[in-house]
Amino acid sequence: MRILKFLLITIIICANYTCFNKCKSFKEGKNQIYGIDISHYQDNKSQIDWQVVSKNTNPYITFAYIRTTMGKDGIDKAFKYNFYEAQKNGIKVGVYHYYRPNENAKEQFDNFFNNTPEIGDMPPVLDIEDIGNLGTRRLKNELTKFLTLLKEKYNTDPIIYAPQKFYNIYLRGEFSEYRIWIARHNGIQNPPESNEMKNEPFLIDRRCPLIWQYSGTGRVNGISGDVDLNIAKQEIWN
C-alpha cells in the first residue's frame, strides 16, 4: 500500500512537468513561431479578414493550418477561401483532415485527396480526437493506413494532431516516425510567456511535440470569436 501511494504521488508530481521530461521548453530561445488552425466555424460569424490577421502582433501569426475535409464525405465550405487568402497575405499555410474513427480510412483519404487541390507550405496533418467504437489496436491500424496513404501520395511525413489526454491514453509509444502536435489548453489569449499557468504538454512516453496548441479561446484581429493558438519551436515548412 505504501509503495502504491508513493507511486501515485510521484505520478502526480511528474504530471506537473517536473520529472522525466527531456523536452526543451516552448518558451526557451527566440525562434518560436506562432500560428492558428481554423475551419469554417471561424467563418460562421463573418469571413476571416486575412489581411488584418497578417498584421496581428500579439501574437504575430506566421502560419495557419486550415481544415479541408472531415471523415469520408465532409468538406469544409470555407477551405478554399481561407487557404488562398491566407497565402495571398504572406501566411504559411497547411491543411488538416479531421479523422472520424468509425469511418473507413481509405474512403477518408479519398475524400481528402479529391477535395484538397494542394497542401501548401507545410506537411499535411491528421487530426484525431476520438476513438469512436474502435478498440485501441484497430484505431492504430486504421490511422496507419491513412498516414501511409498521405506519405506515399505527397512524399512527406504527415503530422499527427491530438489532445494531450487522448494521446497519453491511446497513442503513447506509437507512430514514432511522425511528428506530434499536441493540444493542451490553458484558457488564455496571450502567448505562453505571459501565461502564469505554464502548463506545457507532457507526454508520458517522453516524446517532444513539434507544435503546442496552447489555447482554444484565443483572439486574433481579423477573426470574429475564439480561435486556436499554437506555438512551434522551429519552422514547419521547408
Please list the pLDDT of the chain residue by residue as tens digits (238 residues): 555 554 454 455 455 544 556 788 887 877 889 999 999 887 666 799 999 999 998 889 999 999 999 999 999 999 999 999 999 999 999 999 999 999 999 999 999 999 999 999 999 999 999 999 988 999 999 999 999 999 999 999 999 999 999 999 999 999 999 999 999 987 555 555 433 335 889 999 999 999 999 888 888 999 998 899 999 988 998 6
Beta carbons of 189 and 15 less than 8 angstroms apart: no
Beta carbons of 211 and 32 less than 8 angstroms apart: no
Q: How far apart are CA 85 and CA 30, in angstroms?
A: 28
DSSP 168: I
Q: Quick one: pLDDT at residue 22?
A: 78
Q: Quick one: pLDDT at residue 221?
A: 93
Q: Quick one: pLDDT at residue 4?
A: 58
DSSP 74: E
Alpha helices by DSSP H, 25-104 = 50-53, 79-88
Single pTM value for the model: 0.87
Domains of the chain by start residue, with CATH: 2-232 (3.20.20.80)
Q: How far apart are CA 157 and CA 102, in angstroms?
A: 24
Scanning the structure block, which residue is given the C-alpha cell 470555407? 78
Question: What does DSSP say about strands 159-163 and 33-38: parallel, antiparallel, or unpaired?
Answer: unpaired
Q: Quick one: pLDDT at residue 190?
A: 57
